[in-house]
Amino acid sequence: MTVDPLIELRGVNKHYGTLHVLQGIDLTVGRGEVVVVIGPSGSGKSTLCRAMNRLESIESGEIRIDGRPLPEEGKDLARLRAEVGMVFQSFNLFAHKTVLANVSLAQIKVRGRKREEADRRSRELLDRVGLAAHAEKYPAQLSGGQQQRVAIARALAMDPKALLFDEPTSALDPEMINEVLDVMRQLARDGMTMVVVTHEMGFARSAAHRVVFMADGRILEDRAPEEFFTAPRSERAKDFLSKILSH
């Protein structure tokens, strides 16, 4: 498949003190592609995800978004971040604002939309994630699954080119995981470019175009999900899969 690269990482390195958390990472995510990153905790997958919109700085290597190198800071970086949405493990909805205001805020501040226009768009998106009825509530009044769906709507409101998900269901009660995954599956079907760090193997199998397996700061496998899950090549991946798929 010829890919039109949207996110490109070349030789990316990062240390936390003496821990070499990203070791020469090369990764390309094509437009419209869904890439699921899995691996044991501490393998660097969250750091990798956060590096893609520079919530984590990197020490060497290059990250390009849509052909342009990721700026170091300032206005250029802000502009680029608006193009790449991020969904966090802990939702991070703005606690002092209503659900509607959460989704509208950056549209107004960053995209310069009028409040009415932004609110209209926000209601559309809230409807799409099934939360139109909760627009006037505060985040603390919603369940975890609902908060995460609002967070997805908030990221979508910027009309991003790609969405990054950093363990979006890891902080959720089991019964709420599916309502979030369903929204993500729908996004994937709609052709959104997604990088998803997760432990949800079912999602990886059903929605991913590629599975990237990371361990100890390296990418060990980067393959189609069926191949990866049925015939992992590396010992590390075999070991990891045997532990999580056995129960």
Partner 1 sequence: MDVLTENFSLYGEGFLGTLELTLYASALALVLGFVMAAFRVAPVGSFRVFGTVWVTILRNTPLTLLFFAVMLGLPRFGLVLPFELFAVLALGCYTSAFICEALRSGINTVPVGQGEAARSLGMSFTQSLGAVVLPQAFRSVIPPIGSTLIALAKNSAIAGAFSVTELLGTYKTLSELGYNIIWTFVWIAVGYLIITLSISAVFNVMEKRWGVAR
First CA to last CA distance, the chain: 35
Distance of alpha carbon 72 from alpha carbon 14, whole angstroms: 15
- Within 125-184, which residues bind partner 1 (CB under 8 A)? 151, 154-155, 158
DSSP 92: -
Tokens of 128: 């799409």
Torsional class of 53: left (φ above 0), alpha (ψ -120 to 50), beta (otherwise): alpha
112 binds partner 1 (CB under 8 A): no
Tokens of 205: 């199998």
Q: Which is nearer to partner 1, 156 or 237 (CB)?
A: 156
Q: How many residues bind partner 1 (CB under 8 A)?
A: 28
Least spacing, CB of residue 20 vs partner 1, in Å: 23
229 binds partner 1 (CB under 8 A): no
Least spacing, CB of residue 199 vs partner 1, in Å: 20
Please compute, for residue 48, the number of CA atoms within 13 A of its CA located in the half-sphere on the CB side: 39
- Within 42-101, which residues bind partner 1 (CB under 8 A)? 53, 55, 73, 75, 78-86, 88, 90, 92-96
39 binds partner 1 (CB under 8 A): no
Q: Which is nearer to partner 1, 52 or 204 (CB)?
A: 52
Tokens of 86: 């991020």
187 binds partner 1 (CB under 8 A): no
Least spacing, CB of residue 36 vs partner 1, in Å: 20
Number of H helices, E strands in the chain: 9, 10
Least spacing, CB of residue 239 vs partner 1, in Å: 32
70 — phi, psi (to 5°)? -65, 120
Least spacing, CB of residue 209 vs partner 1, in Å: 24
DSSP 32: T
Residues in contact with partner 1 by CB under 8 A are 53, 55, 73, 75, 78-86, 88, 90, 92-96, 105-106, 109-110, 151, 154-155, 158
